[in-house]
Amino acid sequence: MENIEQVQLHLEKDSLFSKSISNVDLIKFANMVYHNNDSVYYTIPTSKLDLIDLKKYYEASRGEFAAISDGRLSLKGLENEARKPLRIRIQIKDIGSYEMLKKIRGLEKEVDSILNPRDKLWRNYFHELTSGKANYFDSLMEFSSIKNALIEKLIAINPSMQPQLEASDSLLLTLKQDKNVVTSIDTIINNQRNNFYFTGTSVIVAEATKYLVDHLWEGLLFTVLLITLLIILLFRSITIYLATIIPNLVPLFITAGIMGYFEIPLKPSTIMIFGIALGITVNDTILLLGKLKQKIRNNTEITRIEALLLSLEESALAMAYTSVILIFGFLMFTFSNFLGTQALGLLISITLVIGMFTNLILLPSLMLSFSRRLKNKDLIETKLFEEETEDIE
């Protein structure tokens, strides 16, 4: 209980946290009430006799304590011999998901040093013991909690050893090299450790956001790889791939910048924007490149500029119509009462608008810029469009 109290005091020193509450507070309150509301006794009872008296008083006044705590707290911390979980409730200022995770990681080390002040020392001693330095067994036996737990374990295994173990430490010291004893010490150290976890809505949201962001990058990487394979399969040219992928990534970067500027958070409703928008804008790119390939295949003497102009003349209107229809379709989401759906519709629409212009302007410009490295045969040597070309002819 003292360790729980120290953790609460440590957390309350941080201005980000509100006042905490736990079973320990209820125990201190009960102790004060038991002593006629004397605030001097707003402490944890130190003697076992006081704990027994307080427990009897609590049992007699269980209904009153339940009403005070709304039935959520109890004095089970008075006899937590089974090391059952105890909870500390505290509120924290909204500092954002990323800062929240950093704060939690830092608090984990600080709280661990309070709840398990000797754990690191015991681990070091045990490591030296397993390395063959038997004298560290004596160092571990200086801690009564480890020594008593080891004696209890040995007696449970062999009850006949109880008189000798309780009489002196001589028998215990002779067992320092025993592998079973060393294994038992390791188990005892693990059992002596006070494990703790940070829970609550803030932690769940922070961890979920981190999970979503991590998988956003994985999803985008997977999408880009699929597009890479598709472009290389269709046109077998790295130059065409570069000219294709740049116009489709630019809208995503601009949308990400808009989200950052207007402080639109990444959450399940907005995280899917990038994958959806990328898949739709690539469709226009493939349409234009396919039309360009047909023009060059039909007339190998045609210049690159002429082929692009003819391709744009036939495809630009269809690309624009498709994009506009999709844009207005996603804009319908902005009339939703759910803010997440509104953000989804608006941001995808913005991305599609930018993607439409990059495919109609930037893509042809890049194709012309790369014209020295890009040869017509890169567009016509594959047989993927052969059947379609024959139908046109």
Q: What is the pLDDT of residue 390?
A: 43
Residue 286 has pLDDT above 70, yes or no: yes
Q: What is the pLDDT of residue 353?
A: 95
Residue 331 has pLDDT above 70, yes or no: yes
Task: Give whole-number Cα distances, 154 to 133, 160, 166, 205, in Å.
Answer: 22, 10, 11, 47
Q: What is the pLDDT of residue 347?
A: 93
Q: What is the mean pLDDT of residues 70-83?
A: 53
Most confident of 80-84, 272-276, 304-308, 350-354: 350-354
Q: What is the mean pLDDT of residues 117-139?
A: 88
Q: What is the mean pLDDT of residues 93-109?
A: 86
Distance between CA atoms of residues 44 and 194, nearest Å:
19
**In the block, residue with structure tokens 């008075």:** 78
Most confident of 14-28, 166-180, 276-290, 324-338: 324-338
Residue 328 has pLDDT above 90, yes or no: yes
Across 184-212, b (16+ Cβ under 10 Å) vs e yields: bbeebbeebebebebeeebbebbeebeeb
CB-CB contact of 348 with 272 (8 Å): no
pLDDT tens for each residue of 17-27: 888 888 788 78
The first and second tokens of residue 61, run together, are: 């006044």
Give the confidence band of 64 by pLDDT, cuts at 50, 70, 90.
Answer: low
pLDDT tens for each residue of 168-185: 777 777 777 788 888 888
CA angle 32, 79, 150 (to 5 degrees): 135
Q: What is the pLDDT of residue 326?
A: 93
CB-CB contact of 4 with 68 (8 Å): no
Mean per-residue pLDDT over the chain, rounded: 81
pTM above 0.75, yes or no: no
Q: Return the bridge partners of 17, or none.
A: 92
pLDDT tens for each residue of 383-393: 443 444 444 34
CB-CB contact of 125 with 140 (8 Å): yes
Lowest mean pLDDT segment, chosen from 91-105, 158-172, 187-201: 158-172
Q: What is the DSSP string of 138-157?
A: HHHHTSHHHHHHHHHHHHHH
Distance between CA atoms of residues 145 and 165, nearest Å:
15
The first and second tokens of residue 63, run together, are: 């209904």
Q: What is the DSSP string of 112-131?
A: HHHH-TTHHHHHHHHHHHHT
The first and second tokens of residue 113, run together, are: 């040093």
Q: β-strand 88-89 against 21-22: which pairing, if any? A: antiparallel
Distance between CA atoms of residues 273 and 370, nearest Å:
30
Instruction: Please state whether 262 falls in left (phi above 0), alpha (psi between -120 and 50) or beta.
Output: alpha
CATH code of 207-392, in short, is 1.20.1640.10
Q: What is the pLDDT of residue 351?
A: 94
Percentage of residues in the chain having pLDDT higher than 70? 87
Q: What is the pLDDT of residue 150?
A: 87
Q: What share of the chain is helix, strand, coil (3-state, %, to 5)?
A: 75, 0, 25
Q: What is the pLDDT of residue 389?
A: 41
Higher-pLDDT residue of 106, 372? 106
Q: What is the pLDDT of residue 240?
A: 79
Q: What is the pLDDT of residue 309?
A: 85
Task: Give whole-number Cα distances, 269 to 20, 43, 380, in Å.
Answer: 33, 49, 42
The segment(s) of the chain belonging to CATH 1.20.1640.10 are 207-392
Q: What is the pLDDT of residue 62?
A: 66
Q: What is the pLDDT of residue 45?
A: 82
Q: What is the mean pLDDT of residues 359-365?
A: 90
Residue 103 has pLDDT above 80, yes or no: yes
Nearest C-alpha neighbor of 178 from the set 203, 161, 198, 197: 161
Most confident of 101-110, 167-176, 209-218: 101-110
Amino acid occupying residue 263: E
**What is the biggest distance separating any 2 CA atoms in the chain, rounded to whole angstroms?**
106
Higher-pLDDT residue of 273, 29? 273
Distance between CA atoms of residues 316 and 308, nearest Å:
11
Give the confidence band of 83 by pLDDT, cuts at 50, 70, 90.
Answer: low
